[in-house]
């Protein structure tokens, strides 16, 4: 049972980190903030993770595992619906504050990736994972005849991902509510509708 308990504590630390990030953001995040959310001492965090960086790398890994689970869930839906769900996943949080705060914190963290190789590696993994997900959806759509067959799934994946990522970032940093949704609509109008419509 000790093994489980150790995992429990680490799980609790990850969840406390999530809450602390939402509340304070990444730049202002202190080990004390996480400890407060956990209702344990700061020393405990250092007992489980040598450094703050180690803890946060573990946190990104934790997020990736969650994404992988979610991805497996709706892998069986029809491509058009999967694509729509995926795109909407970005626009999410019309006013769901928690999620917006979290995305902002994640952007702050991402902005440190150029200086921290461990972050960069995890984020590169996440980039591959998301792009592969889109590629799979597009390939499935082409195979089933729902999508036009003369498009390159890799190119589309890159385009869709960059666009929605940029839209979400601009919305978050400008605090302008409708930004991401407006870009999503433009993405559909000028790109995705053409691809989805039968040839």
196: partner contacted, choices DNA, its own copies, none (Cβ within 5-8 A by kind): none
Q: Which stretch binds its own copies (CB under 8 A): 6-14, 61-69, 70-78, 158-166?
A: 158-166
Of 55 and 183, the one with the shorter C-beta distance to its own copies is 183
Q: Which stretch binds DNA (CB under 7 A): 47-55, 79-87, 126-134, 139-147?
A: 47-55
Q: Which stretch binds DNA (CB under 7 A): 3-11, 76-84, 87-95, 102-110?
A: 3-11
User: HEC string of the chain?
Assistant: CHHHHHHHHHHHHHHHHHHHHHHHCCCCCCHHHHHHHHCCCHHHHHHHCCCHHHHHHHHHHHHHHHHHHHHHHCCCCCHHHHHHHHHHHHHCCCCCHHHHHHHHHHHHHHHCHHHCHHHHHHHHHHHHHHHHHHHHHHHHHHHCCCCCCCCCHHHHHHHHHHHHHHHHHHHHHHCCCCHHHHHHHHHHHHHHHHHHCCC
Report if residue 57 touches DNA, rule: CB under 7 A.
no
Q: Which stretch binds its own copies (CB under 8 A): 37-45, 59-67, 91-99, 178-186?
A: 178-186
The first and second tokens of residue 86, run together, are 């995926």
11: partner contacted, choices DNA, its own copies, none (Cβ within 5-8 A by kind): none
Residue of 132, 136, 135 whose CA lies nearest to 75: 136
For binding to DNA (CB under 7 A), which residues are involved?
Answer: 1-2, 5-6, 9, 28-32, 40-44, 46-48, 50-53
**Residues of the shown chain interacting with its own copies in the complex, contacts defined by CB under 8 A:** 25-28, 104, 107-108, 110-115, 120, 123-124, 127, 151, 155-156, 158-159, 161-167, 169-170, 172-176, 179, 182-183, 185-187, 189-191, 194-195
């Amino acid at each position: 049972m000790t093994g489980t308990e150790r995992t429990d504590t680490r799980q609790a630390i990850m969840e406390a980190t999530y809450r602390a990030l939402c509340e304070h953001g990444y730049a202002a995040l202190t080990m004390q903030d996480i400890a407060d959310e956990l209702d344990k001492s700061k020393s405990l965090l250092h007992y489980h993770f040598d450094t703050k960086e180690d803890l946060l790398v573990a946190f990104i890994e934790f997020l990736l595992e969650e994404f992988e689970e979610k991805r497996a869930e709706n892998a069986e839906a029809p491509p058009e619906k999967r694509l729509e769900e995926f795109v909407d996943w970005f626009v999410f949080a019309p006013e769901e504050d928690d999620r917006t705060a979290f995305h902002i914190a994640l952007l702050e963290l991402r902005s440190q990736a150029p200086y921290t190789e461990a972050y960069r590696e995890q984020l590169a993994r996440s980039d591959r994972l998301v792009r592969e997900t889109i590629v799979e959806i597009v390939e499935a759509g082409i195979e089933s005849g729902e999508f036009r067959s003369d498009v390159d799934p890799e190119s589309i994946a890159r385009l869709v991902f960059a666009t929605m990522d940029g839209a979400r970032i601009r919305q978050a940093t400008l605090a302008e509510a409708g930004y991401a949704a407006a870009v999503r609509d433009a993405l559909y109008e000028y790109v995705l509708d053409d691809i989805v419509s039968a040839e």
